[in-house]
Amino acid sequence: MKTIAKLSAILLAAAACAAWPAMAQQDSTPPATNAPAPPRPRAAQFGGTITSVDSTNMTLSLRGRAGNPETKVKITHDTKIKKDGQPGQFSDAVEGVRVRGSGKKGDDGVWMANTLNIMTKRPMAKPAPPAATGQ
Instruction: Give tens-digit pLDDT for 12-60.
Output: 777 766 666 655 555 556 666 677 777 777 779 999 999 999 999 999 9
Interval 107-116 mean pLDDT: 95
Whole-number pLDDT of residue 5: 73
Q: Which domains does the chain have, with CATH numbers?
A: 44-119 (2.40.50.140)
Residue 1's pLDDT band (cuts 50, 70, 90)? low
In eight-state DSSP terms, residue 28 is S
Instruction: Give tens-digit pLDDT for 88-104.
Output: 999 999 999 999 999 99
What b/e readout covers 88-104, taking b as 16+ CB neighbours within 10 angstroms?
Answer: bebebbeeeeebebbbe
